[in-house]
Amino acid sequence: PADPNTTNLDVAIVGGGLAGLYALHRMRGLGLKARVYEAGSGVGGTWFWNRYPGARCDIESLEYSYSFSDELQQDWKWPERYATQPQILAYINHVAERFDLLRDVQLNTRIRTAGFDRATDRWTLATDGGEAVSARFCIMATGNLSTPRVPDFKGIESFRGPWYHSGLWPAEGVDFSGKVVGVIGTGSTGIQMIPLIAKQAKHLYVFQRTANFSLPAQNGPMETAREAAYKANYPERRAEARMSGFGVSGYPSPTQSALAASEAERQGKYETLWQRGGSIGFLSCYNDFLVDEQANDTAAEFVREKIRSIVRDPKVAELLAPKDHPIGTKRLCLDTGYYETYNRDNVTLVDVRSAPIQEITERGVRTAEREYALDAIAFATGFDAMTGALREIDIRTDGGPSLAEAWADGPRTYLGLAVAGYPNMFMVTGPGSPGVKSQMILSIEQHVDWIADLIDHARGHSITRVEADGEAQDRWVEHVNQVADSTLYPVANSWYVGANIPGKPRVFMPYVAGVGVYRKKCDEVAANGYEGFTLSGAESLKRT
């Protein structure tokens, strides 16, 4: 008999961000009983938590939005070329209301454990509130950058002032007026917050360990002509994006080599791209940009020269000019006035590569060189990316090893969608998928649509268990690595390889063959009767 204290579902969805909400919408469309469990007090995931000053998407708004409803994409008006965090959160809340999603979203609820039982082919999830949830399928829409990490600095508890992590920023905001502030970290997040904090603070110390390449966003109010052109052809735009490299329309795969072009040609191209703004133009300007170090360096040097021309103090400019990794192999940052910020009298760049942070003291930050007295610290030190959120849930099959244990040497997935040994569980934009190397919402839609088709197929064929084969998984992992190794990506110490988390196994996690290639592969797998999966029917349950 059914336990009255257990919620019974067809599909449990963990996470109420862009992926979880779309998954709920699709599952409902199939007539399935689905429910979203979300740790936050609101929906939005990344865009709910990352409320730090300057938080903004680095993909243009007209691309970074759902495509599943033409009415939605026609109606919605994005105010700026690149949307801010509050604008994106407002959009997500609008979508949640418009499609009546909230009645099946349980907020303030964290999933602690998930156990699959092969006797019943069902998952049982336990919430932090002590609730039990039973579901045939489980969709992990837990996000890639949802586990914030402050490095394990000695003495952090002794600091007398307030400190904040970008990914857990107070909803009410922080006023740094009149304060001496330290920002630790110069990835995308630091690069976005630094110019704004500099304008407010009495003095800002930026603690930089590794310089990153940043390009001007050239943000501004939405151009009405551009918006109209998009809206006149939205379905065509989206179709193009779906078969592209990065999931963004308007950037056909490059056919020309940077090394085959003349110096003048290259400089002209880079200058045009710099003026136009955005990162995808650079990433798709030449076919050897991300493959050949010499080709890559032509663009890297162009950007370094730009930095030298913007930053007045040549020593500071040299520290800001990245030399340790090829451009584009870490997330290529977009900024508004980042390098210019170092020309302000109230901003000091502290090189913590040559003199590392040794401890946080009562008064501030002590590096190997000296102590910096601070009133407040903002950590822009990143996330336990891609695997962190999944590893925090105790996920097991029949009491066997946890997913975290199975992934001790790095994540292994089939298509970035499923894991051998953990049936009926799907990930959205998991490691081994192109998710984080693409326009995320497009990848989310592709993953969720594919999962929805599989669940629908299972239901139509009385299949109660869907499990990735170990061999298919091994082949996929090898393929993902081969593709990565044919590029320059793995050489950079980025969160793509877990380099920002001490002790994390170094595995290049994203699939970088492009979203179009990946989509074709997924479609092929489905067309071949879900090749690489074992589908088994209810007969296997007869014994229960």
Inter-residue contact 136 to 8 (CB < 8 Å) = no
501 contact partners, CB below 8 Å, separation of at least 6 = 149, 384, 385, 388, 495
Which residue, 329 or 424, is less far from ligand NA7 as judged by CB? Answer: 329
Q: Which two tokens stand for residue 78?
A: 């994005």
Which residue, 207 or 518, is less far from ligand NA7 as judged by CB? Answer: 207
- Residue linked to tokens 């007295």: 373
Q: Hey, which residues does 115 pair with through a beta bridge?
A: 124, 396
Which residue, 37 or 495, is less far from ligand NA7 as judged by CB? Answer: 495
Which residue, 152 or 172, is less far from ligand NA7 as judged by CB? Answer: 152
- In angstroms, give the least distance from the CB of 337 to ligand NA7: 17
- CB-side exposure of 421: number of CA atoms within 13 Å? 17
- In angstroms, give the least distance from the CB of 508 to ligand NA7: 15
- In angstroms, give the least distance from the CB of 251 to ligand NA7: 18
Which residue, 439 or 473, is less far from ligand NA7 as judged by CB? Answer: 439
Which long-range CB contacts under 8 A does 25-31 form with residues at least 24 apart?
25/68, 25/99, 25/101, 26/448, 26/449, 26/452, 27/139, 27/452, 27/455, 28/104, 29/452, 30/452, 30/455, 30/456, 30/459
Residue 539 C-alpha from the chain's centroid: 40
Which residue, 81 or 396, is less far from ligand NA7 as judged by CB? Answer: 81
Which residue, 397 or 494, is less far from ligand NA7 as judged by CB? Answer: 494
- In angstroms, give the least distance from the CB of 424 to ligand NA7: 30
- In angstroms, give the least distance from the CB of 351 to ligand NA7: 10
Which residue, 165 or 465, is less far from ligand NA7 as judged by CB? Answer: 165
Q: Which two tokens stand for residue 258?
A: 């940077």
Amino acid at 396: R
CA distance 76 to 91: 8
- In angstroms, give the least distance from the CB of 446 to ligand NA7: 18
Inter-residue contact 58 to 82 (CB < 8 Å) = yes
- In angstroms, give the least distance from the CB of 10 to ligand NA7: 33
Counting Cβ atoms within 10 Å, is residue 342 exposed (0-12), middle (13-18) or buried (19+)? buried
* Residue count (the chain): 544
- CB-side exposure of 514: number of CA atoms within 13 Å? 20
Q: Which residues contribute to the site for ligand NA7 (CB under 6 A)?
A: 145, 151, 166, 184-190, 207, 209-210, 331, 352, 357, 380-382, 495, 500
Pairing of strands 132-140, 6-14: parallel
Which residue, 37 or 251, is less far from ligand NA7 as judged by CB? Answer: 251
- In angstroms, give the least distance from the CB of 504 to ligand NA7: 12
- Residue sitting closest to ligand NA7 (CB): 187
CA distance 413 to 103: 32
Which residue, 151 or 470, is less far from ligand NA7 as judged by CB? Answer: 151
**Residue 379 neighbours by CB distance under 10 Å:** 25
CA distance 112 to 126: 6
- In angstroms, give the least distance from the CB of 199 to ligand NA7: 20
**Residue 255 neighbours by CB distance under 10 Å:** 7
- In angstroms, give the least distance from the CB of 153 to ligand NA7: 7
String of DSSP letters for 105-130: EE-S--EEEEEEETTTTEEEEEETTS
Inter-residue contact 511 to 518 (CB < 8 Å) = yes
Q: Which two tokens stand for residue 264?
A: 């003048």
- In angstroms, give the least distance from the CB of 451 to ligand NA7: 23
Which residue, 329 or 446, is less far from ligand NA7 as judged by CB? Answer: 329
Pairing of strands 364-367, 357-360: antiparallel
- In angstroms, give the least distance from the CB of 109 to ligand NA7: 25
Which residue, 188 or 298, is less far from ligand NA7 as judged by CB? Answer: 188
Which residue, 12 or 193, is less far from ligand NA7 as judged by CB? Answer: 193
Q: Which two tokens stand for residue 305?
A: 């020269």
Which residue, 20 or 498, is less far from ligand NA7 as judged by CB? Answer: 498
CA distance 6 to 131: 7
- In angstroms, give the least distance from the CB of 154 to ligand NA7: 11
- In angstroms, give the least distance from the CB of 497 to ligand NA7: 11
CA distance 397 to 403: 9
In our burial notation (b when 16+ CB lie closer than 10 A, e otherwise), range 114-141 reads bbbebeebbbbbbbeeeeebbbbbbbbb
Q: Which two tokens stand for residue 401?
A: 């090893």
